């Protein structure tokens, strides 16, 4: 998983100025999802949905939680099960390498949430140069955003690192995969790169690959994506070297659309990170499972990041607790043509803080503000109008009513926010100490 990477910033979605040959191999040797969505247009809620396989507002994860190691509410609610907890039932070993963002209180630590190994950082973003990482841990933070400067953590220990962060994470991923396959242990690795999220920082080695990009921001962004692509290449090679290339399912995606501040590109999609237009929620997604998923597919039906957990759980035949049903579907039967039709009848989104909603059914997508009295909702045919320019709401009352009524039924199942939002975190101020 990458962070804030634009829809158009992978070769398999047509990117011209940033080669991503290794990421593209996942799509070429497997499937490229043309209309893939995450469940929220910013990091935290999107990841909470991805990691539980459930719409995150079912458990009140409506926004980025405050970065607050003193708050036992500000994280992924403990009554939810992560994909790592579920996979323990099938004897998997799981790791998260990179960005956690599911709470900084010790109760929310990845090792408490089903993961057997953690190498990374707890907050929602991080500096990339090792000399910038000087705080021993998050409790030493004295000002906002200083959590970007904590040392990396291995399991529960702060460690000194020496590489550019993206390389550090890629190397840790390779080590984990080697160890598990040497032990004959099946595994799940959640490699959560923070690249290319801000701050825009890249090394000379990667910057030198882009002499023709004149815009400095875009050049640095390109270098950051290129570093991720190298890491993907190391991992793909490790799978070959370890002889587990054929029986490893690999998924690549971004956690939300490209942001307006990191020089990413979502073209031709409308909008950016934090929007419910396609630019905020439609992401690059590719999946490879050699011998199972026929290679070179372009899958055109809408799919969700929720489907990744559902697919993995179904393929391992792991029972799911009835009180926490998954919202995704197993995609494998659709990719092997055993099933036809749309994996989802409806896909839903909610931005609780903004009273904003969206719903997709077939070609149609409704984007609206549910408390906006008299305001015209946006209705688009996102298949013929990928850029969401042609407003259809005026003479489609029946479609509007259907979409709105299904969204209302879904919304009635959701919770309000259960923790303080990012920005409410003042625990580090002197007054609090």
* Residues annotated as catalytic (active site), given as ranges: 43, 101
Whether the ω angle into residue 401 lies within 30 degrees of 0, i.e. cis, is no
The answer to whether 256 contacts Ca ion (rule: CB under 5 A) is yes
Residue closest to Ca ion, measured at CB: 43
Least separation in angstroms between CB 99 and Ca ion? 9
Least separation in angstroms between CB 44 and Ca ion? 8
| C-alpha span between 167 and 173 (Å, rounded) | 10
**Options 1, 2, 3, 190; binder of Ca ion; rule CB under 5 A:** 3
Residues 6+ apart with CB under 8 A from 253: 1, 2, 36, 38, 283, 284, 285, 286, 305, 308
Q: Which helix (H) or strand (E) holds 172?
A: helix 165-182
| C-alpha span between 312 and 92 (Å, rounded) | 12
Measured from the CB atom, is 43 or 253 closer to Ca ion?
43
Piece in contact with Ca ion (CB under 5 A), picked from 167-175, 185-193, 252-260, 407-415: 252-260
The answer to whether 9 contacts Ca ion (rule: CB under 5 A) is no
Measured from the CB atom, is 5 or 150 closer to Ca ion?
5
Measured from the CB atom, is 2 or 161 closer to Ca ion?
2
Least separation in angstroms between CB 331 and Ca ion? 23
Measured from the CB atom, is 177 or 253 closer to Ca ion?
253
The answer to whether 327 contacts Ca ion (rule: CB under 5 A) is no
Measured from the CB atom, is 4 or 81 closer to Ca ion?
4
Q: How many helices (H) and strands (E) does the chain have?
A: 10, 15
Residues 6+ apart with CB under 8 A from 294: 31, 335, 336
CA dihedral in degrees (400, 402, 406, 412; nearest 10)?
A: 70
Our CA angle for 381, 404, 253, nearest 5°, is 55
> How many residues bind to Ca ion according to rule CB under 5 A?
5
The answer to whether 4 contacts Ca ion (rule: CB under 5 A) is yes
**Options 255, 307, 327, 425; binder of Ca ion; rule CB under 5 A:** 255
Measured from the CB atom, is 232 or 403 closer to Ca ion?
232
Strand ranges of the sheet holding 364-369, from the earlier edge strand across to the other edge: 347-351, 356-361, 364-369, 378-381
Least separation in angstroms between CB 275 and Ca ion? 13
- In 3-state terms the chain splits into helix, strand, coil percentages (rounded to 5) of 30, 15, 50
Piece in contact with Ca ion (CB under 5 A), picked from 38-46, 100-108, 209-217, 327-335: 38-46
Q: What are phi and psi of 213, to 5 degrees?
A: -90, 115
Query: Strand 378-381 relative to strand 364-369: parallel, antiparallel, unpaired?
Result: antiparallel
**Options 18, 23, 27, 43; binder of Ca ion; rule CB under 5 A:** 43
Least separation in angstroms between CB 61 and Ca ion? 14
Piece in contact with Ca ion (CB under 5 A), picked from 2-10, 62-70, 358-366, 424-432: 2-10
Least separation in angstroms between CB 406 and Ca ion? 27
Residues that bind Ca ion (CB under 5 A): 3-4, 43, 255-256
């Amino acid at each position: 998983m990458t962070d804030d990477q634009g829809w158009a910033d992978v070769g398999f979605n047509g990117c011209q100025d940033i080669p991503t040959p290794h990421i593209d191999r996942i799509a070429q040797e497997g499937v490229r999802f043309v209309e893939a969505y995450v469940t929220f247009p910013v990091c935290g809620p999107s990841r909470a949905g991805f990691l539980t396989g459930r719409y995150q507002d079912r458990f009140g994860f409506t926004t980025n939680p405050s970065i607050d190691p003193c708050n036992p509410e500000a994280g992924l609610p403990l009554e939810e099960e992560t994909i790592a907890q579920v996979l323990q039932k099938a004897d998997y070993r799981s790791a998260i390498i990179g960005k956690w963002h599911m709470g900084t209180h010790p109760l929310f630590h990845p090792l408490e949430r089903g993961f057997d190994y953690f190498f990374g950082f707890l907050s929602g973003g991080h500096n990339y140069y090792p000399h910038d990482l000087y705080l021993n841990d998050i409790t030493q933070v004295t000002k906002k955003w200083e959590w970007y400067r904590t040392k990396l953590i291995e399991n529960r220990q702060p460690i000194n690192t020496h590489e550019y962060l993206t390389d550090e994470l890629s190397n840790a991923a390779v080590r984990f995969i080697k160890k598990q396959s040497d032990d004959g242990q099946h595994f799940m690795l959640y490699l959560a790169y923070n690249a290319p999220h801000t701050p825009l920082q890249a090394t000379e080695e990667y910057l030198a690959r882009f002499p023709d990009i004149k815009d400095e921001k875009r050049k640095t962004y390109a270098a950051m994506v290129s570093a991720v692509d190298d890491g993907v290449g190391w991992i793909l090679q490790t799978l070959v070297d370890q002889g587990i290339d054929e029986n490893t399912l690999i998924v690549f995606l971004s956690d939300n659309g490209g942001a307006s501040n990191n020089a990413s590109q979502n073209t031709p999609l409308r909008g950016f990170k934090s929007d419910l237009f396609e630019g905020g929620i439609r992401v690059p997604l590719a999946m490879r499972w050699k011998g199972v998923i026929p290679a070179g597919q372009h899958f055109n039906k809408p799919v969700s990041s929720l489907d990744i957990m559902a697919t993995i759980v179904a393929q391992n035949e792991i029972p799911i607790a009835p009180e926490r049903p998954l919202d995704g579907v197993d995609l494998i039967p659709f990719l092997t043509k055993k099933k036809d039709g749309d994996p989802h009848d409806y896909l839903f989104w909610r931005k609780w803080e903004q009273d904003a909603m969206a719903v997709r059914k077939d070609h149609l997508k409704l984007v609206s503000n549910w408390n906006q009295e008299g305001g015209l909702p946006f209705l688009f045919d996102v298949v013929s109008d990928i850029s969401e320019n042609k407003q259809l709401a005026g003479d489609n009352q029946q479609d509007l009513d259907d979409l709105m009524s299904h969204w209302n039924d879904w919304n009635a199942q959701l919770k309000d926010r259960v923790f303080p939002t990012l920005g409410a975190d003042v625990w580090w101020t002197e007054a609090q100490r």
